[in-house]
Amino acid sequence: MICFENVCKSYGRVEAVHNLNLEVPPGELFGFLGPNGAGKTTTIKMATGILRPSAGRIVVAGYDVYAQGPMARSLIGYVPDMPYLYDKLTGREFMEFVADLYGVNGRKSRSRAEELLALFDLLNYKEQLIESYSHGMRQKLVMASVLIHDPQVIFLDEPTAAMDPRSARLVKDILQALCKRGVTVFMSTHIMEIAERMCDRVGIIDRGELVALGTMEALRQRRGEGTLEDIFLSVTGNSEHADLIRVLDGGSIS
């Protein structure tokens, strides 16, 4: 359902993503992990058509993201790490606006919007301006809007950021239910526990390169580590932690 073929992205002399080859099958909940600046957001933006790769090819739902962009994007849902919302719209108006962008029929979009707002506990706030929403409410509104056109593939960049535990659990349950219906979810997160509990497979990217890939069981067998956090620190290196401890102990960075 998602295929990266020798994908690279450079900003001048800096290569943010290097020769990425990765396939995600239909119905999989895939976790994409990495340190800050590792290339996670760049990868997601390329897969959703926001950024053009410097080299390589990306296919989503059978369509080349750049050669067949409109067809690919019609099947994609995307939640960025810092979503932009129109503060002077109400929650209902925003849902209808997104439905119009995807060409969802007016009557169907209104019914679908009501269902999704209720699902995310936002129905009582649908006539309030978005400027009055908390950050967590905004995140849930974006999640609801992403589902209004029934996408086949969903890309999520830190989807549970700023959500309370109840809302985060709701998102987790919704994503797992969608995957059981055949929807493919590609999710980046810094929260190891979420990735470990939710994801069918995880990939870890570091300095633009995919350094680990597999199920938790396979990664444990291969790396000889216990938790996903242990595996993550093992493959991305923990020299920064060692340097910090050395400085706190009165030493210097070598």
Q: How many domains does the chain have?
A: 1
Chain segment 3-31, per-residue pLDDT in tens: 999 999 999 989 999 999 999 999 999 99
Question: Which band of pLDDT confidence, cut at 50, 70 and 90, is reported for residue 220?
Answer: confident
Supply angle C-alpha 120, 153, 231, rounded to 5.
Answer: 90
The model scores a pTM over 0.85: yes
The answer to the question of residue 253 being in a domain is no
Provide the pLDDT for residue 239.
Answer: 46
Question: Which band of pLDDT confidence, cut at 50, 70 and 90, is reported for residue 234?
Answer: confident
Chain segment 82-125, per-residue pLDDT in tens: 878 999 999 999 999 999 989 887 777 889 999 999 999 999 99
CB 199 within 8 A of CB 175: no
Strands laid side by side in the 209-214 sheet: 76-79, 153-157, 184-188, 29-33, 201-206, 209-214
List CB contacts of 247: < 8 A, sequence separation 6 or more: 253
The answer to the question of residue 254 being in a domain is no
The answer to the question of residue 47 being in a domain is yes
Nearest C-alpha neighbor of 204 from the set 182, 185, 167, 230: 230
The answer to the question of residue 228 being in a domain is yes
Chain segment 57-69, per-residue pLDDT in tens: 999 999 999 999 9
The answer to the question of residue 73 being in a domain is yes
The answer to the question of residue 101 being in a domain is yes
CATH number reported for the structural domain that contains residue 175 in this entry: 3.40.50.300
For 221, the domain range is 2-248
